[in-house]
Structure 1
Amino acid sequence: KTSWMYIIPVGIIYFFLYYFIFTWMIKKFDFKTPGREDDDEETKLYTKADYQAKKGAGADGSSQQSVEDAKSSMIARGLGSKKNITSVDCCATRLRCSVADSSLVNEKILKATGAVGVIKKGTGVQVIYGPQVAVIKANLETYLETAPDIEPELDAPAEEPQAEEAPKAEEKKTAAPQAAAHALCTPVAGDVHPIAEAPDEAFASKMMGDGYFVYPTEETVYAPSDGEVVFVFDTKHAIGMKAADGTEYLLHIGVDTVNLGGKGFEVFVENGQKVKKGDKLMHFDDAFIKANVKSDACLVIFTGLQEGQSIEMEKTGAVKALDEVAKF
């Protein structure tokens, strides 16, 4: 009984003490407590779910896996769900899938995952992603191992409204100086053509970028410029390159040559290797390629051109390896 006589008064004293001290500190230092934030600012009260999500992310960005799973889930939905997908493969630029029912494929959802194009041929679906497709394929395969047979319903993403065209500034009498043109060389001897004539819809429509291609008369591929080998595709038919000036491009030998599984190709370089213009990159068996796939066209695709940049052909027809054939 005696102890309660002391506890209650002490508690009352501490209550008023804390109240006045904290009130003074909040006003003195302008702490942004709920209800006192600026007009354009909101103090967020975090839920347990927010805390767990933040904790899961970690300081090292370990939430990347959940981002990859979300993208893989969306790709699966776009392909009509896991149950509709019968096989998953890829080449240097595109995800190649077979589906049970192609009418379930939703191109709008697939393009929302970063695809630049979708090609449907019967039960075959090609989703064009570019050189990062190998990572996308690996993530999708991992996701499909534990994914539900039927993905949750997802409305197709609405198309983004077109931004209003900004008013054009008055043209100056003196034209702005143009950037120096980049001369582009052919990596192989043969007959060179603009990319729009390529024997493949995805390349011809420039889904992956502008470029040109060669019907080869020789079987050795040379580095068309100084630079670095970014990647050699597992099936050896494609090499990602980065020129010394930063220009990124893809050397893709033949159409559908991923199906050869590396047969008919010998590669002389590896990932990360520095090369000089004229260094041998690859040798291929042209007769074998012609006999087994759609085309032996050797494509040079510029995947990193800036907006407004395009390839301008300087030469077509018969060329030798390392001839200048185009510029941008």
Structure 2
Amino acid sequence: MLNFLQRIGKSLMFPIATLPAAALLVRLGMEDMLDIPFVTAAGNGILTNLSLIFAIGIAMGFAKDGSGAAALAGAVGVLVLEGGIGAINENINMGVFSGIVSGVIAGMLYNRFYDVKFPEFLSFFGGKRFVPIITSLVMVALSFVFGYLWVYPQNVLDATANWILNAGELGVGVYGVLNRLLIPVGLHHVMNTLIWFDFGTFTTESGEVVRGEINRFLNGDPEAGHFLAGFFPVMMFGLPAACLAMYAAAKKHRKAAVGGMLLSIALTSFLTGVTEPIEFTFMFLSPLLYVVHAILTAVSMVAAFMLDVRHGFGFSAGLIDYLLNYSIAENPLMLILIGVVLGAVYFVVFYFLIVKLDLKTPGREDEEEDLVEETQEVGQPNKPANDYDAKAYQYLEALGGSENIKSLDYCTTRLRLQMSDREKVNEAALRRYGARGVMKVGKQNLQVIVGTTVEFLADAMRKRMDQRYEAPPETDFKEDEQSDKSYNSRELSAEDFVLPNEGTVMPLEDVPDEVFAQQMMGPGFAIDPEKDTFTSPVNGKVVQVFPTKHAIGLEADDGMEILIHIGLDTVQLKGEGFETLVEANQTVKQGDPLIRVDLDFVKRKAPSVVTPIIFTNLENETVTLHQTGRHSQGETGIVTVQ
């Protein structure tokens, strides 16, 4: 049932996407703007036919391939339903709910009958042409049922709407909390649809009846806008201040890594009111902050109501909508005052809770400590590319391959997936490729928070899945001819690799660090070193010497890339206790000194000196560890790659 409701929530984004155009037309045509009545009437042409638009959009969203045949069936369905109900009881008005019902049924019928076959003399009506026919027949039956029975749920809905709309501060406060708390499961769109497009009515000067908070506000209802105004301080000031608090609380060496991301999503929220990229950065890492966020949203809603502020939006509560509808709002400057105060509260509360409770917000995650700094520097053949085709490959690989995905969908900022085996999903890899969070729902469902570019990524992933291939073209990750050769199948014999230090050799899974033990950075092994100097295990060159000197990246002559990470959490030592003996791009041979380490100092300051040795750019090759236990520096026969 949750998955079904989430599909409705996702499908609602199709018709909601028409609202900015409608709102813009309505505003531009008004007397205080361009004073062109037919432009306002054109915008209202969308707002007064929302049930039809919702039926079309939801049917497309439910259809397995987004077919236009499903959209046509949704349109036919809502026209039949509303016409039949009106003939039975003209006092019944289902509002956008009739469009939702029609769209869901049309989409489900399309998935069931889109490939139906009939005898040759009826073949014209087979396949997709049959879907509008069967949809109209089903809606005739439903119009009979709703025509006589909908009066009872309509009374309940009217009573609920009247309570919410007339409960004053309590009503807007409850709505504010629920609006945020339902975001993790994607059901906030369902509740928003009722409040924004169905609850409450207003008759315009031309005698036209409009429904819902957004429609009524845009058409001049003096009672509308209270359920929209309180979102502006949160989206323009509160959440950007939360981003500032997360940046301030980030570990010093991580600020540069997370600062750009936090700045971009803060600007997105401020300008457009799209907040999910921010909310998903802390929603699952620190649920307490999300509860605080929901409560502060309610506080903002109540404050705006008590100060008699009315404002509205056509898309979301960002600066663009704030300025566009400023002239028809009531007390809009109060929202700036509320926003400044609320922003200060967000910053202080978030920063205090993050620091005092050591909450794992961006820049403070223990398990991501090394990934941010290192995985994109050395030996990552699947590092994110600019084109979505390459990124689609990366996501499919991290999700366990296309055969592990039963269904792929998306909403505003996230992929919605049904998985065959959710255990195959590599969450660390998804975050490495740009995902801001992963949410597990039920037993098979998975949501990957991508951001507002999710549509392009999802389309590229579907293309790869439909064409039955996952591996990207060779040019996806090719930077030059040398890097192209490095991705050919490669082998490492027992003599090609010598132990870089003396000590105890162990399997990677014995390393007391989840990132390395689960091979999130690649396969390999580890050594508990005894000597102070690490030497080169292969003939090749130095690719990267990390600024903190605790790790070094090598490239063997055949292109195989190797990361030697000395100790665990040693990045926090900021180079103290380490002395690099080589430079980037320097040619090295087996046994050449690379790094000198004060082992006693590192043992005192770091959790462990156990050193993972990772093969970072392997694809189908297998790493075999032949020897464990204590071995001498320079020994061969330790490991092979085939």
Task: Please report the TM-score for the alignment, with normalisation by the length of structure 1.
Answer: 0.54
Report deviation, 1:165.
Answer: 12
Match of 1:155 in 2: 413
- Matches of 2:614 and 2:253, distance apart in 1: 17
Q: Secondary structure at the residue paired with 1:84?
A: helix
Is the 2:544–2:554 Cα contact (8 Å) retained in structure 1? yes
Report deviation, 1:104.
Answer: 1.7
Is the 2:581–2:595 Cα contact (8 Å) retained in structure 1? yes
Match of 1:198 in 2: 511
Report deviation, 1:87.
Answer: 1.8
Instruction: Give the gaps of 5 or more residues in structure 2.
Output: 1-238, 263-277, 286-357, 379-410, 418-460, 469-488
- Matches of 1:88 and 1:101, distance apart in 2: 20
- Matches of 1:164 and 1:102, distance apart in 2: 29
Report deviation, 1:229.
Answer: 0.5
Change (3 A) 1:103 1:226: closer
- Matched residue type, 1:314: H
Change (3 A) 1:103 1:235: closer
Is the 1:90–1:96 Cα contact (8 Å) retained in structure 2? no
Matched, 1:104 2:282: yes
Change (3 A) 1:238 1:84: same
Match of 2:602 in 1: 289
Cα deviation code 1:235-280 (max 9, x no counterpart): 1111011011111010110001111111111111011100111101
- Matches of 1:164 and 1:241, distance apart in 2: 38
Is the 1:195–1:213 Cα contact (8 Å) retained in structure 2? yes
Report deviation, 1:199.
Answer: 1.4
Cα deviation code 1:115-143 (max 9, x no counterpart): xxxxxx84232443544269xxxxxxxxx
Match of 1:132 in 2: 376
Match of 1:253 in 2: 566
The within-5 A match list for 1:204-215 is 204-215=517-528
Q: Give the number of the structure whose residues are more often strand, by fraction.
A: 1
Change (3 A) 1:228 1:106: farther
- Matches of 2:283 and 2:243, distance apart in 1: 9
- Matched residue type, 2:577: G
Match of 2:246 in 1: 84
- Matches of 1:205 and 1:222, distance apart in 2: 26
- Matches of 1:210 and 1:158, distance apart in 2: 30
Match of 2:493 in 1: 182
Is the 1:212–1:300 Cα contact (8 Å) retained in structure 2? yes
- Matched residue type, 1:256: D
Is the 1:131–1:240 Cα contact (8 Å) retained in structure 2? no
Matched, 1:322 2:500: no
Q: Secondary structure at the residue paired with 1:192?
A: strand
Report deviation, 1:204.
Answer: 0.5
- Matched residue type, 1:247: M
Is the 2:377–2:544 Cα contact (8 Å) retained in structure 1? no
Q: Secondary structure at the residue paired with 1:214?
A: strand
Aligned-pair identity in percent equals 31
Matched, 1:276 2:454: no
Is the 2:505–2:630 Cα contact (8 Å) retained in structure 1? yes
Match of 1:300 in 2: 613
- Matches of 1:230 and 1:267, distance apart in 2: 13
- Matches of 2:375 and 2:282, distance apart in 1: 26
Instruction: Give the gaps of 5 or more residues in structure 1.
Output: 1-76, 108-120, 135-152, 167-177
Cα deviation code 1:255-312 (max 9, x no counterpart): 0111111111111101110011110111101111110111101221110011x32211
Cα deviation code 1:85-126 (max 9, x no counterpart): 3325558xxx689x999982568xxxxxxxxxxxxx842324
Cα deviation code 1:143-177 (max 9, x no counterpart): xxxxxxxxxx95223346795998xxxxxxxxxxx
- Matches of 1:326 and 1:90, distance apart in 2: 34
Is the 1:198–1:213 Cα contact (8 Å) retained in structure 2? yes
- Matches of 2:377 and 2:543, distance apart in 1: 14
Cα deviation code 1:161-210 (max 9, x no counterpart): 795998xxxxxxxxxxx975533332111000111111111000000000
- Matches of 2:627 and 2:283, distance apart in 1: 41
- Matches of 1:225 and 1:310, distance apart in 2: 18
Task: Please report the TM-score for the alignment, with normalisation by the length of structure 2.
Answer: 0.29
Cα deviation code 1:58-106 (max 9, x no counterpart): xxxxxxxxxxxxxxxxxxx9xx845533325558xxx689x99998256
Q: Give the number of the structure whose residues are more often helix, by fraction.
A: 2
Structural RMSD (CA): 3.6
Q: How many aligned residue pairs are there?
A: 205
Is the 2:502–2:531 Cα contact (8 Å) retained in structure 1? yes
